[in-house]
Amino acid sequence: MSEKRAESAAPKPRGIRQTMSDLHIWAGLLLGWMLYAMFLTGTVSYFKNEISQWARPELAHQASVPDPADVAQRVAGELGRLAAGSSQWSIGLPSARENTAEAFWRLASAQPGQRRFGQATFDPATGHKVTARDTTGGEFFYRFHFQFHYMPVLWGRWLAGLAAMFMLVAIVSGVITHKKIFTDFFTFRWAKGQRSWLDAHNALSVFGLPFHLMITYTGLVTLMALYMPYGERLAFKTPQERQQLTRELNAFIQPGKPSGRAAELAPVADMVRQAQALWGRDNIARVTITLPGDAASRVAVARGEEGRASMSPQYLLFEGSSGRLLETHDSVGPAAETRGVMYALHLGRFGDTVTRWLYFLVSLAGTAMVGTGLVMWTVKRRRKLPDPARPHLGFRLVERLNIATIAGLSIAMATFLWSNRLLPGTLAQRGEWEIHAFFIAWALALAHAVLRPPRRAWIELLWVGAAMLALLPVLNMLTTDRPLWRSIAEGDWVFAGMDLVLWALAALHVKLALRTARHKAPVPRGAQSPRTKAPAPAGERTVPSVPRTTFDATHGATPSQDALR
Amino acid sequence: MSHLAIFLPSLLGFSALALAMERHQESVFDRALPASLTRVLRNLGWAALLAALAVAVETQGWGLGLVSYSGHTSASAGLVFGLLIAWQRRRSAR
């Protein structure tokens, strides 16, 4: 859009920027709390495997990755005993980020409504089942960020999709509202009060903008088959066509018709080695075996996610009885590949450690963007309240929900990790109880936020969060034999990294708590000059020696624009 | 260490671009730089960003290269941004 047009539109009662500003404010607010939770839990999910390793301290640190070919052979042998008669085994192999092999298999005797798959974790060195505490680990945060909990999975995913659509609207309308968002890329003034909230919100939005746009859009793409199934339904009608579609999008092969003739499974290790020759030794993700022991058996060896920015399946298909290579599936059509690339961009699993940290940091900035936006809604409005000491219901609701969401979620997530260390191993459904603890802590934080004066609630909950995060490494030291110094000495950067990041996050909470405590309550100010809305922010905007300011040149007069800054 | 070879030019690029802006010249050097130097800084900034892109694509291919380029430019822009704020705060504190 041209600047000229916008400027000429600005004095009119409702210009495009005005409308977009309102849209940004309300689209951002309405699902903002959900978006904050999705962003934060999604952010930590970039280290989902590492969190899961931390959550099972019984399983030793993996200094080097064992040969996936040998591991696949061992686990397949073990599954021959554990899951004989199953029509489908699927073995996830260890990698640099995963210190165990895991497998699931279709249960032969499953009645409708019963569990259809068995699941177990294996020691890569021996191939035997390992016993560790029952926990969902990093998988919980990952699942929560797109399907929530305590509700049917599909509802959660629809809700997440709705939130993502609101996010897209908020991003686009935010960019339009701040027309100089790109030219003013490095324009930043450090001012006090509400101005710095806006500046922080803008800074976090602008410097992560490509990421925010990408992550929101690709997030929708990951679940597009759920949200928009109509094209697919129209194009693929017969079961064969649907099967072909599944094959195009997924390396997880389905069992065919058993021949009834017994035939021993050829060595799986040899098949994996052929795949390793193509993709590299440690770049094998999964081995799926159908109808083991039958002459019609098939084995699919799937490529890992490392080193290619695409989730499109690549696998070698072997005849199980002979080990003969039947098919090399290494490319998909352009449409499927587009989806595969977007999917991969969202998950970021292809990245090396540096790339993963970049994902984490920029995503954290996105979380802060949503958080500052939510807080700003109240900061802007407080000064305009007729009686700031007794705000109206809507204001109080937003204020309390902000506290409970932002400060409360940190406490809830820390509680999840605390309960991982403290819940007794004998507790029935222990993994579920870790999740219950997460929600109980969150509910308590909400209660606290409702019952205490808002400013006190912010400070107290931030301190609680800081203390819980800071003490987690200590708790880890007391409850496991893997304290920080041992982790560092042994080069175990999964455990050492968790401890150090927890302390960094604790420091962040301390900083926020101190700032909130230092921040003067804006109430007296509103009481002093209840009638002078426009001049007050204008005065604040003017900083000596900086005549040209960020977003103020053209739109300063309308009340709602005022609310944005 | 291809990541460093992407990150450092990005950092240099954004620093140069920031210093090509008058307001930051005033905040860092207390005066506006001559137009010719500003132009050099601006060109240097863009050239450094392009160089970082070239390194990224050369060492990691288009797919991964573009992704890590985006990450490194975001991180270096954020860092330059943060440094400018810290600088301004120190000055206004004095």
Segment B13-32, tens digit of pLDDT: 999 998 998 888 888 888 88
Q: Which domain holds residue A513?
A: 385-530
* B37: its two tokens: 């130097």
Contact check, Cβ <8 Å, A188/B85: yes
Residue A203 lies in a domain: no
How far does B68 lie from chain A, in Å, by closest CA? 6
- 8-state DSSP, A425: T
How far does B39 lie from chain A, in Å, by closest CA? 16
Through-space distance between the first and last CA atoms of chain A, rounded to whole angstroms: 22
Q: Which chain A residues have a beta carbon less than 8 Å from that of B85? A: 188, 190
Quote ipTM for the complex: 0.86
Q: Which residues of A225-258 are buried (b: 16+ CB within 10 A; e: fewer)?
A: eeeeeeeeeeeeeeeeeeeeeebbbebbbebeee
Nearest to A37 by CA among A370, A360, A357, A348: A370
Query: Is residue A394 domain-shared with residue A519, that is, in the same domain?
Result: yes
Burial label for A525, CB within 10 Å (0-12, 13-18, 19+), is middle
Nearest to A262 by CA among A306, A303, A292: A292
Q: How confident is the model at residue A54 (pLDDT cuts 50, 70, 90)?
A: very high
Contact check, Cβ <8 Å, B68/A203: no
Interface test with B, best of A207, A314, A337, A550 (most B CBs within 10 A): A207
Look at chain B and report how many structural domains it folds into: 1
Look at chain A and report how many structural domains it folds into: 2
Nearest to A145 by CA among A31, A32, A38: A38
Q: Is B67 on the interface with A (CB under 8 A)?
A: yes
- Per residue in A69-105, pLDDT (tens digit) is 999 999 999 999 988 888 999 999 999 889 999 999 9
Q: What residues 147-206 of chain A have any CB closer than 8 A to a CB of chain B?
A: 185-190, 203
Contact check, Cβ <8 Å, A359/B71: yes
- 8-state DSSP, A58: T
Of residues A182 and A171, the one with the higher pLDDT is: A171
Q: Which domain holds residue B15?
A: 2-93
Of residues B15 and A388, the one with the higher pLDDT is: B15
**Between chain A and chain B, how many beta carbons pairs sit less than 8 Å apart?**
74
Q: List, in sequence order, every residue forming a beta bridge with A129; answer none if it has no partner.
A: A122
CB B64 within 8 A of CB B57: no
| Least confident among A41-50, A539-548, B10-19 | A539-548
Task: Find the CB nearest A345 among B14, B67, B77.
Answer: B67
Nearest to A177 by CA among A28, A35, A380, A22: A22
Q: Which chain B residues have a beta carbon less than 8 Å from that of A189? A: 88
Query: Is residue A319 domain-shared with residue A395, that is, in the same domain?
Result: no
* A45: its two tokens: 């999910």
Residue A21 lies in a domain: no
Residue A371 lies in a domain: no
Q: How far apart are CA A381 and CA A25, in angstroms?
A: 12
Contact check, Cβ <8 Å, B67/A203: no
Q: How far apart are CA A221 and CA A345, in angstroms?
A: 11
Nearest to B44 by CA among B20, B68, B24, B21: B20
Mark which of A274, A304, A335 sits at the end of a domain.
A335
Query: Is residue A418 domain-shared with residue A315, that is, in the same domain?
Result: no
Q: How far apart are CA A195 and CA A379, in angstroms?
A: 10
pLDDT at A419 over 90: yes
Question: Which secondary structure element, helix H or strand E, spans residue A118, and what is its range?
Answer: strand A117-122
- Per residue in A3-21, pLDDT (tens digit) is 444 444 445 567 888 888 8
Q: How far apart are CA A299 and CA A88, in angstroms?
A: 10
* High-pLDDT (> 70) share of chain B, %: 97
Contact check, Cβ <8 Å, B85/A362: no
Query: Is residue A396 domain-shared with residue A315, that is, in the same domain?
Result: no
Report phi then psi at A301, rounded to 5.
-110, 115
